[in-house]
Amino acid sequence: MITRRKFISGTTAAVVLSPLALDLFAAPQGKKIKNFGFISGIIGKELETDWKGTLKKAASFGFTEIETGNFMGNSPEEFLSYLDEVKIKLVAGGFEFKVTDEDLKKSLDLLVKLKAKIAIVYWPWYTGAPFSLTECRKSAERLNFLGKACRDKGMEFAWHNHDKEFVAMEEGLPFDFLMQNTDPGLVKCELDIYWAAKGGADPVGLMKKYPGRYNILHIKDMAPGTAMDFECPGSGIIDFPAVFRESDRQGIKHFMIERDNVPDGLACMKSAGEYLRNLRY
């Protein structure tokens, strides 16, 4: 076997490699993800049992950001102090779409205390699916209202998709309606890669269709097979390098892993963290 040392220093070598060439020879090619995070629900049971120990493990897996709408411990200040200790930053948190004005204020005030940059609604609908044009108009109006309320509190606002937004209605798709009938300056989308793919859409194609409308992504994978079940990120069939290449072009900086119905949240986070640390795109 010709080792790296023999290749470089052997008497049969025909060329002398520059320092740059040596670096290229030694390291994988492509860009590396600078920061990646997780939504707290993926380890919800573990956080209830031992939130400090669980967050410390998450940090050891390489996670530097968290998406959560509430605090652990006795106060937001205690929670943020510990996050700072383990070098995890609270980036985003959710609140309910249909809350009263009073409860909306309470929810946004809490997110402000948690120093969240992005406020998110996970079900931007008054009803269940399938959706109609009438329901889309109501949701778009509400999303614009919520976007302004979040901006007034110093936060960005986003809505989260599922697969149901890609079921055709009287005219077009609900996803397109919400994107085209909300104010780009007030309303962004937290694109869930898995749900978009399950709905029959191309996640990268959606990103290219609406550049500048995404400020955070849910990195969720899909198992092979017709059931299209959930999988831990990096263990399924989603083309994440393509997602990150487009994210890089658009300046998207926040990536939160997620897996619904996860049997072992910490094991999933460990494998996903290893995948994302070693990914080059």
**Tens of pLDDT, residues 43-66:** 999 999 999 999 999 999 999 999
pLDDT band, residue 18 (cuts 50/70/90): very low
Average pLDDT over residues 94-120: 98
Cα–Cα distance, 242 to 63 (Å, whole number): 21
Are the C-beta atoms of 257 and 36 separated by less than 8 Å?
A: yes
pLDDT at 28: 58
Share of the chain above pLDDT 90, in %: 90
12 has pLDDT over 60: no
Summarised one tens digit per residue, pLDDT across range 245-258 is 999 999 999 999 99
Cα dihedral 234, 238, 239, 244, rounded to 10, equals -70
Residue 94 and residue 113: Cα distance in Å, rounded?
13
Say whether pLDDT at 183 is over 50: yes
| Cβ pair 159, 189 in contact under 8 A | yes
Q: Side-chain half-sphere of 32: how many Cα atoms within 13 Å?
A: 10
Report the topology of domain 28-278: TIM Barrel (3.20.20)
Q: Please say if the pLDDT value at position 26 is more than 90.
A: no
Are the beta carbons of 4 and 25 closer than 8 angstroms?
Answer: yes
How far is residue 277 from each of residues 32, 39, 256, 267, measured CA to CA in Å?
8, 18, 14, 15
Domain-wise residue ranges, the chain: 28-278
Please state, rounded to an integer, the average pLDDT across all residues of the chain. 92
Q: Which residue has the higher pLDDT, 230 or 5?
A: 230
